[in-house]
Amino acid sequence: EPEVTQTPSHQVTQMGQEVILRCVPISNHLYFYWYRQILGQKVEFLVSFYNNEISEKSEIFDDQFSVERPDGSNFTLKIRSTKLEDSAMYFCASLDPGLKSYEQYFGPGTRLTVT
Amino acid sequence: GQQLNQSPQSMFIQEGEDVSMNCTSSSIFNTWLWYKQDPGEGPVLLIALYKAGELTSNGRLTAQFGITRKDSFLNISASIPSDVGIYFCAGRGGTSYGKLTFGQGTILTVHP
């Protein structure tokens, strides 16, 4: 069964460094999302992406964040200058608009640790 | 923004018992979803509800979309050890492709 994949599974970085989290959505999906989950807390929406542009973003998604679909398969989240409070699990999700369920399929996540 | 209140925060039950958890919102949602998250993994969809009043089952799981569109519950019958995990409700208020708003989660522990 097709699934969303994410790399790396765990990223450790120093405060102030740039990180890029990578996702490969399910191949025929057209809508892409990033969510984050701080340890022990709920999953929070960051951004949605469709037709090569951001369709919606949350207050969390400030100028330090950016997303890109650099080719036909990858979807990336970049954090320009990481802060301690960026430590969290980051989940990518994708959606096939052809499915009536409109289900967002989640990847396994990347654990980002900022030291 | 939209907030979901999910309860209870945690449950400790014996294998075979039934479980019930619920979510309420101050805003209306067009879709309610229930996810399960195992440690170190992403959320997996259990049940999706699209109409107010809808009652849907998936095996031992049953969920309902409240008439007011501001609440939903999930029941698990005859729990088994593999039901252990974190259960999240999520609502979608805008378009069918829009963001999901998640509840705080219910941690379920099942004692054999």
Four-residue CA torsion sign, A41, A69, A96, A53: positive
Greater model confidence, A101 or A27: A27
What is the least distance, in Å, from the CA of A84 to any CA of chain B? 20
What is the CA angle A73-A79-A81, rounded to 5? 155
Four-residue CA torsion sign, A80, A60, A11, A73: negative
What is the least distance, in Å, from the CA of A16 to any CA of chain B? 26
pLDDT of A77 > 90? The answer is: yes
Is any Cβ of chain B less than 8 angstroms from the Cβ of A67?
Answer: no
* B31:A102 CB<8 A: yes
Nearest neighbour of A108 by CB, restricted to B41, B88, B96: B41
What local confidence, expressed as pLDDT, does residue B3 receive?
84
Q: Which H or E run contains A31?
A: strand A31-37
Is any Cβ of chain B less than 8 angstroms from the Cβ of A109?
Answer: yes
pLDDT of A100 > 90? The answer is: no
What local confidence, expressed as pLDDT, does residue B1 receive?
65
User: Does residue A108 have a cis peptide bond before it, meaning omega lies within 30 degrees of 0?
Assistant: no
Greater model confidence, A79 or B97: A79
pLDDT of B41 > 80? The answer is: yes
What local confidence, expressed as pLDDT, does residue A99 receive?
81
